[in-house]
Amino acid sequence: MIEVQDLHKAFGAVKAVDGVSFTARDGEITGLLGPN
């Protein structure tokens, strides 16, 4: 299991991820979708 809480990631002034939290349990496939 992987648990992520309040993840933030930026590339310069561009926010790629802003406060994302999720849990990926064993055997589960998890993806992030958003504008490219």
| 18 DSSP β-pair partners | 8
Residue 15's φ and ψ, nearest 5 degrees, are -85, 115
Instruction: Report yes or no on 35 lying in a domain.
Output: no
**CA–CA dist 35, 3 (Å, integer):** 23
Instruction: Report yes or no on 21 lying in a domain.
Output: yes
Instruction: Report yes or no on 33 lying in a domain.
Output: no
- Do 24 and 35 contact (CB within 8 A), yes or no? no
User: What was the pLDDT predicted at 32?
Assistant: 79
Question: What global pTM score does this model have?
Answer: 0.63
Instruction: Report yes or no on 34 lying in a domain.
Output: no
Instruction: Report yes or no on 1 lying in a domain.
Output: yes
Q: How many domains does the chain have?
A: 1
pLDDT tens-digit series, residues 3-36: 999 999 999 999 989 999 999 999 999 887 877 6
